[in-house]
Amino acid sequence: MNETIAKSMTYGGGGGAFLFGLDANTIGMIGGLIIGVIGLLLTWHYQRRRDQREQAEYDFRMGKR
């Protein structure tokens, strides 16, 4: 029980020191990077689905089913 509390306090203190040590510019930069990566992954996912739909339509039109 005491080990769990000590571990939680250690991680909480480390996370707090990291977060509170950042200024507004750094937080904005990290947020922008996260949003950019999420946008890239979503674009890749939906482009892949579009390519699959178009390939299925092409195969159907060419009689390949």
The 10s digit of each residue's pLDDT in 40-55 is: 999 999 999 999 999 9
For residue 59, what are its two tokens? 């195969």
Going by the DSSP 8-state scheme, the letter that residue 58 receives in this structure is H
Residues 6+ apart with CB under 8 A from 59: 65
Residue 65 binned pLDDT confidence (cut-offs 50, 70, 90)? low
Q: Enumerate residues 6+ apart whose C-beta is below 8 A from 22.
A: 30
Round to whole Å and give the CA distance between 52 and 46.
10
Q: Which residues contact 65 (CB under 8 A, 6 or more apart)?
A: 59
Q: pLDDT tens for residues 4-33?
A: 888 888 888 877 777 777 777 887 888 899
The domain limits of the chain are 23-65
